[in-house]
């Protein structure tokens, strides 16, 4: 990735660069530049090559910068972070941090990636993670409690992300149980929470957030559900480092709040963001689909579903809205 990353640093301005100029900057010949340009394809970026002009990206990129990210943290958040890593490329930031937690080499870490080659979504789905355009971050935190005390954590993390976006002026954001960030019924991002530990604790929790900022066409084609990106939602152009830093701030402080007060501190706020409340939904679990009316969440974060006059607690599954007939 190193050479590819340097090439992308030059191309990030979105202007044309000739093969000769790039070769000179990278210390390689024009044929090697051409090869490197080919290697950008799997990164999911839209790249143009025009005879006589050279190469350029369809859109300029704001690459992640550690200093700018950290500038968004307040003093409390700064004390809650032991190590921040910003990597050009990784398979999955969640996989990376959960493995570090298991091997005992990390406990209060955050990892951002410019690109994920095997980004993980919920229910074993892939998370499309093109280079340098969206935000992919995982935050690891240790909780010295048993598994029960962690109920509702993933919903609390969703509220933390909603707070971050609302602090940047994003309105009309909704949360679709359990972990989708939705704007006007289209998916803006999602959270994946993974844990490692023993039933009695301690637990290591990794909260991973993927947020679409500006989806290149080549990547958007791979997404099989209605999606939206932040540039559409908040056309005033919010800097990528600002969004990333704000997410980190609210994830760190949100997890701290959760460790002190549990989901109770987030429940009312979650319900204000609840996309499906009072609507007819279908919940698909393993091998079954349940239809009912969504009635909010209980104190553990379970979805309450009214089915034939009875309230059922749903602990996991995929929720889809049903078309009214």
Q: How far is the CB of 112 from ligand BTN (least distance, A)?
A: 9
176 is catalytic: no
Paired residues of 47 in beta bridges: 57
Helix (H, G, I), strand (E, B) or coil at 21: helix
Residues 204, 118: Cα–Cα separation, whole Å: 22
Q: How far is the CB of 121 from ligand BTN (least distance, A)?
A: 3
- Token pair listed for 135: 């935000």
Q: What are phi and psi of 204, to 5 degrees?
A: -110, 130
Q: How far is the CB of 26 from ligand BTN (least distance, A)?
A: 29
C-alpha dihedral, 181 to 185 to 187 to 189, nearest 10°? -10
Give the residue with the Cβ less far from ligand BTN, 108 or 223: 223
Give the residue with the Cβ less far from ligand BTN, 154 or 259: 154
Cis peptide bond N-terminal to 241, omega within 30: no
* Closest C-alpha among 278, 158, 280, 257 to residue 211: 158
* Closest C-alpha among 171, 152, 137 to residue 248: 137
Give the residue with the Cβ less far from ligand BTN, 37 or 133: 133
Give the residue with the Cβ less far from ligand BTN, 225 or 310: 225
Give the residue with the Cβ less far from ligand BTN, 62 or 114: 114
Contacts of 281 (CB under 8 A, 6+ apart): 291, 292, 293, 294, 305, 319, 320, 321, 322
Residues 6, 8: Cα–Cα separation, whole Å: 5
51 is catalytic: no
Helix (H, G, I), strand (E, B) or coil at 71: coil
Give the residue with the Cβ less far from ligand BTN, 106 or 137: 137
Q: How far is the CB of 56 from ligand BTN (least distance, A)?
A: 27
Residues 4, 185: Cα–Cα separation, whole Å: 37
Chain residue at closest Cβ approach to ligand BTN: 190
Q: Active-site residue among 4, 100, 141, 187?
A: 187
Binding residues (CB under 6 A) for ligand BTN: these are: 92-94, 116, 119-122, 125, 127, 136-138, 179-180, 190-192, 208-210
Residues 55, 23: Cα–Cα separation, whole Å: 12
Q: How far is the CB of 140 from ligand BTN (least distance, A)?
A: 11
Q: Active-site residue among 122, 277, 293, 312?
A: 122
Q: How far is the CB of 63 from ligand BTN (least distance, A)?
A: 17
Residues that are catalytic: 122, 187, 322
């Amino acid at each position: 990735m190193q050479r590819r990353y340097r090439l992308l640093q030059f191309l990030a301005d979105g202007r044309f660069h000739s093969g000769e100029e790039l070769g000179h900057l990278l210390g390689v010949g024009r044929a090697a530049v051409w090869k490197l340009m080919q290697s950008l394809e799997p990164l999911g970026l839209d790249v143009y090559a025009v005879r006589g002009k050279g190469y350029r990206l369809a859109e300029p990129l704001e690459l992640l910068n550690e200093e700018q990210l950290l500038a968004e943290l307040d003093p409390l958040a700064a004390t809650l972070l032991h190590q921040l890593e910003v990597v050009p490329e990784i398979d999955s930031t969640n996989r990376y941090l959960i493995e570090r937690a298991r091997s005992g080499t990390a406990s209060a870490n955050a990892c951002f990636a410019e690109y994920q080659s095997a980004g993980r979504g919920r229910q074993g789905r892939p998370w499309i993670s093109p280079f340098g355009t969206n935000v992919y971050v995982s935050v690891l935190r240790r909780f010295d409690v048993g598994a029960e005390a962690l109920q509702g954590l993933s919903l609390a993390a969703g509220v933390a992300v909603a707070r971050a976006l609302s602090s940047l002026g994003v309105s009309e954001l909704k949360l679709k149980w359990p972990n989708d960030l939705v704007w006007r019924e289209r998916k803006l991002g999602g959270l994946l929470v993974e844990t490692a530990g023993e039933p009695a604790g301690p637990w290591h929790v990794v909260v991973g957030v993927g947020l679409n900022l500006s989806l290149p066409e080549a990547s958007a084609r791979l997404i099989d559900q209605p999606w939206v990106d932040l540039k559409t939602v908040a056309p005033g152009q919010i800097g990528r480092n600002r969004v990333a830093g704000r997410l980190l701030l609210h994830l760190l402080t949100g997890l701290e709040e959760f460790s002190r007060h549990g989901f109770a501190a987030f429940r009312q706020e979650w319900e204000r963001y609840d996309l499906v409340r009072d609507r007819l939904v279908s919940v698909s679990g393993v091998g079954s689909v349940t239809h009912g009316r969504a009635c909010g969440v209980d104190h553990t974060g379970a979805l309450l579903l009214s089915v034939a006059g009875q309230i059922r607690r749903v602990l996991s599954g995929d929720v889809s809205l049903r078309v009214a007939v």
